Chain A
Amino acid sequence: MEHVAFIAASYIVSALGLGLLALWLLMDNGAQKRALAELEARGVRRRSSPANPARLEERTP
């Protein structure tokens, strides 16, 4: 195959670039999920969260 090194380099660079991007996005997603879970475990919740006692009180007639 002609110019095989250039073809292989293109596919390797593409796989590396997209692989690193996907890995970074997945790690960032995991970090945010952990941070949110940590805050909720400390009792800090969103006002609109169904588990928020204040919101349940508002809803209860």
Chain B
Amino acid sequence: MAFLDLANPTRFLSYSGRLLPWVAGAAVLVLAIGFGLAFRAPADYQQGETVKIMYVHVPFAWLAMFAYTMMAASSLGILVWRHPLADVAHKAAAPIGATFAALCLVTGALWGRPMWGTYWVWDARLTSMLVLLLLYLGVMALRAAIDDPSRSGRAAAVLTLVGVVNIPIVKFSVDWWNTLHQPASVFRMGGSTIDAALLWPLMTCALGFTLLFVALHMLAMRTEILRRRVEVLEARAAAEAVG
């Protein structure tokens, strides 16, 4: 019940208005510390200094998957409970998740060229991440294609839930198939295989980007709530003008 009370658009605007500057400030601070640690970290014994690309590439990959998983949870909120804040959260997360997915692909390509000798290969990890980006774009296009906001929200939620099958494929593709992309080295059975000198900067950058994602998502949700209020008021003003 307390959670449902919090999931009220007006209450969300009030709480997020107070929280947003702190979360955004914490994101900038943690990212500054993370990049400071990253640029002092030693070179990798195989990748050399190119490992520095991992401090942005890996958090982008994690957050692209996290944002989509969060959208899938919001989709249940849209379809089962028809909660307006779930629809707002879903719509607001899509362009942010798409940006993280696109940046993951671009930084991965920029790492792949010096390390693998190619920007792109159609291996399972890279292809499933490209599918994730296409799913984000598809969800946004579907929302834009349907005028009725309630119908567009439900259609986007169904597409999101269909596409969520891609998340375990992205995660486990390196185990299920023989890929050029290396297997998991942080979150894996038996613990991380990365040396602490490289792992700490990576985790600090990941925390910073996560805080940045939360701040951007909060801002986008606030904007979406305001947009819906503007639409309602414009419709009322138009109805009053006619009547």
Chain A residues within 8 Å of B, Cβ to Cβ: 1-4, 6-7, 9-11, 13-14, 17-18, 21-22, 25-26, 28-29, 32-33, 35-36, 39-40, 42, 44-46, 48
Residue in A1, A2, A11 with the greatest tally of chain B CB atoms within 10 Å: A11
Query: What chain B residues lie within 8 Å of A45 (beta carbons)?
Result: 233
- The answer to the question of B107 belonging to the interface, with a C-beta cut-off of 8 Å to chain A, is yes
- The answer to the question of B11 belonging to the interface, with a C-beta cut-off of 8 Å to chain A, is no
**Contacting residue for A17 out of B99, B111, B114, B222, CB 8 A:** B99
Q: Are B111 and A6 in contact (CB under 8 A)?
A: yes
**Contacting residue for A32 out of B48, B57, B230, B240, CB 8 A:** B230
Q: Are A17 and B53 in contact (CB under 8 A)?
A: no
* A-B pairs, 7 with minimum CB distance: A32-B226, A3-B114, A29-B223, A10-B53, A10-B107, A39-B233, A44-B237
- The answer to the question of B123 belonging to the interface, with a C-beta cut-off of 8 Å to chain A, is no
**Contacting residue for B107 out of A13, A29, A48, CB 8 A:** A13
Nearest-neighbor residue (CB-CB) of B112 within chain A: A6
Interface of A is mostly: helix
A-B contacts, CB under 8 A, total:
89
Residue in A32, A35, A36, A40 with the greatest tally of chain B CB atoms within 10 Å: A32
Query: What chain A residues lie within 8 Å of B230 (beta carbons)?
Result: 32, 35-36, 39
Interface of B is mostly: helix
Query: What chain A residues lie within 8 Å of B219 (beta carbons)?
Result: 25-26, 29
Minimum CB–CB distance from B113 to chain A (whole Å) comes to 6
Nearest-neighbor residue (CB-CB) of B219 within chain A: A25
Nearest-neighbor residue (CB-CB) of B232 within chain A: A46
- The answer to the question of B61 belonging to the interface, with a C-beta cut-off of 8 Å to chain A, is no
Query: What chain A residues lie within 8 Å of B10 (beta carbons)?
Result: 48
Residue pairs across A and B with Cβ atoms less than 8 A apart, 7 shown, are: A2-B43, A9-B110, A17-B102, A17-B103, A18-B103, A35-B230, A42-B237
Query: What chain B residues lie within 8 Å of A18 (beta carbons)?
Result: 99, 103, 212
